[in-house]
């Protein structure tokens, strides 16, 4: 029997509630699987670790992760620590250190979820946003001088490399090719940003030649926000820079019903390093400790993790269990207008995974 080594990093805030819930789902799955099991290792990195050690994770933390098959991550963010420290000290350190250059964010309106777009049928909204995850606007290049003085100067350089842009476009075209509609929209801002974004467009056109069966178009990022709201069915796979996709995917999550539902994968496509899966929401301190965090974004991240491991049948079973549960309004958490707790939703998804496992094992 295969054993997958999974690192769990709950991080901060509701990450500490939803990641144990995600682990419960994986454990329920493993109990009923003949061909694989999981070996978990939990890492207590984040805000509390920072208060004790002055850093968000240990200096040799990445070495421990290298030995894993996949990582399940919660969130990084603490009201008492500046956001740029929590973000750069943990999540970005892992994404850049493990070269997880493709950030993949599927968005759909799940059964039973009421999206805010009045004229949008749930089948009209079925997107995957591919975000460049290691350079661009979040390259970290820049600096400040004369701090606090009237002549203070600060820069953040958006750095794009041909290799970095080419590999993310190729990943996005390949993903679009694997989806039924074979449709890709390249998000740009080359009208105003006339150097790096022009190179971004040129490389997209070059890579497109390798994928003659993929239909593709270009959209300015500002126009893309309106198109997502007014013509959602005109989009399928979307590729964008680090900053643009960061913003568009929050919009996508809200249009699909709640920030609590959306998942993401930070992928190293060449599999030289482990990939990391996480709900897109942050630490949500306003609801922390109340037991009402929506765990669906984490469960969907678990589905992506299983797909990445090649366990497609198990992934499909967990996704069906999630959809079975979201279809029941009595199992909606308060962000979806319901009264269910994290524990109730988790128990329902685990029960569904177990019950479908019985038929799955009988048939096998």
Measure the CA–CA gap between 60 and 74, rounded to whole angstroms.
20
* Residue 311: φ, ψ to 5°: -90, 70
Nearer to ligand ATP, 160 or 345 (CB): 345
| Token couple for 72 | 């399940």
| Binding residue for ligand ATP, selected from 28, 224, 287, 303, defined by CB under 6 A | 287
Binding region for ligand ATP (CB under 6 A) out of 52-60, 228-236, 280-288, 307-315: 280-288
Binding region for ligand ATP (CB under 6 A) out of 38-46, 131-139, 210-218, 285-293: 285-293
Binding region for ligand ATP (CB under 6 A) out of 59-67, 154-162, 208-216, 282-290: 282-290
Closest by CA position to 110, among listed 292, 258, 298, 284? 258
What 3-state class would DSSP assign to 337? Answer: coil
First to last CA, the chain: 16
What 3-state class would DSSP assign to 261? Answer: coil
Binding region for ligand ATP (CB under 6 A) out of 106-114, 211-219, 265-273, 287-295: 287-295
Nearer to ligand ATP, 75 or 185 (CB): 75
| Binding residue for ligand ATP, selected from 297, 308, 321, 345, defined by CB under 6 A | 297
DSSP secondary structure code for residue 40 in this structure: E
| Binding residue for ligand ATP, selected from 80, 213, 270, 286, defined by CB under 6 A | 286
Q: Which helix (H) or strand (E) segment is 73 a member of?
A: strand 70-75
Which residue is closest to ligand ATP by CB? Answer: 282
Nearer to ligand ATP, 112 or 164 (CB): 112
- 1 vs 32, 274, 350, CA distance in Å? 13, 21, 22
DSSP secondary structure code for residue 292 in this structure: -
Residues 231-260 that bind ligand ATP (CB under 6 A): 259-260
> With the C-alpha atoms ordered 96, 158, 263, 361, is the resulting torsion angle positive or negative?
negative
Measure the CA–CA gap between 361 and 358, rounded to whole angstroms.
5
Closest by CA position to 322, among listed 34, 106, 8, 102? 106
Nearer to ligand ATP, 170 or 332 (CB): 332
Compute how many residues bind ligand ATP; rule: CB under 6 A: 17
Contact between 263 and ligand ATP (CB under 6 A)?
no
Dihedral of CA atoms 54, 55, 58, 59 in degrees, nearest 10, equals -100
Binding mask 57-96 for ligand ATP (x = CB under 6 A): ------------------x-x-------------------
Displacement of CA 259 from its chain's centroid (Å) = 11
Binding region for ligand ATP (CB under 6 A) out of 21-29, 104-112, 125-133, 283-291: 283-291
Give the shortest CB-249-to-ligand ATP separation in angstroms: 11
What 3-state class would DSSP assign to 263? Answer: strand
Contact between 293 and ligand ATP (CB under 6 A)?
yes
| Binding residue for ligand ATP, selected from 160, 335, 338, 357, defined by CB under 6 A | 335
DSSP secondary structure code for residue 91 in this structure: I
What 3-state class would DSSP assign to 359? Answer: helix
Residues 6-25 that bind ligand ATP (CB under 6 A): 14
| Binding residue for ligand ATP, selected from 284, 309, 314, 322, defined by CB under 6 A | 284
Measure the CA–CA gap between 194 and 209, rounded to whole angstroms.
23
Residues 86-145 that bind ligand ATP (CB under 6 A): none
Binding mask 302-321 for ligand ATP (x = CB under 6 A): --------------------
Provide the binding-site residues for ligand ATP, judged by CB under 6 A. Answer: 14, 75, 77, 259-260, 281-287, 293-294, 297, 333, 335
């Amino acid at each position: 029997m295969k054993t997958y080594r999974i690192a769990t990093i709950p991080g901060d805030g509701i990450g500490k509630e939803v990641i144990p819930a995600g682990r419960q789902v994986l454990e329920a799955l493993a109990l009923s699987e003949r061909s694989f099991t999981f070996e978990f290792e939990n890492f207590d990195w984040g805000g509390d670790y920072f208060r004790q050690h002055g850093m968000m994770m240990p200096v040799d933390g990445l070495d421990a992760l290298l030995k894993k098959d996949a990582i399940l991550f919660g969130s990084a963010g603490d009201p008492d620590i500046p956001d740029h420290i929590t973000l750069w000290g943990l999540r970005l350190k892992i994404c850049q250190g493990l070269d997880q250059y493709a950030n993949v964010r599927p968005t759909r309106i799940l059964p039973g979820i009421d999206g805010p777009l009045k004229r949008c049928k749930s089948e009209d909204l079925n997107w995957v946003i591919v975000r460049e995850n290691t350079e661009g606007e979040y390259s970290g290049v820049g600096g400040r001088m004369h701090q606090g003085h009237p002549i203070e100067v600060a820069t953040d350089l958006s750095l794009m490399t041909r290799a970095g842009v080419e590999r993310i476009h190729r990943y996005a075209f390949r993903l679009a090719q694997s989806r039924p509609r074979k449709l890709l929209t390249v998000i740009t801002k080359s009208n105003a940003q006339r150097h790096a974004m022009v190179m971004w467009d040129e490389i997209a056109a070059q890579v497109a030649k390798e994928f003659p069966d993929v239909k593709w178009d270009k959209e300015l990022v500002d126009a893309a926000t309106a198109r997502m709201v007014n013509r959602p069915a005109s989009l399928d796979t979307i590729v964008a820079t680090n900053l643009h996709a960061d913003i568009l995917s929050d919009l996508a999550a809200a249009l699909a019903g709640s920030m609590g539902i959306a998942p993401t994968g930070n992928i190293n496509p060449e599999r030289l390093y482990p990939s990391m899966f996480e709900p897109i929401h942050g630490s949500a301190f306003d609801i922390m400790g109340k037991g009402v965090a929506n765990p669906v974004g984490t469960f969907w991240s678990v589905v992506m993790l299983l797909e990445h491991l090649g366990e497609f049948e198990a992934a499909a079973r967990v996704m069906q269990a999630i959809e079975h549960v979201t279809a029941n309004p009595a199992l909606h958490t308060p962000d979806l207008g319901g009264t269910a707790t994290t524990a109730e939703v988790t128990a329902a998804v685990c029960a569904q995974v177990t019950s479908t496992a019985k038929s799955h094992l009988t048939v096998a």
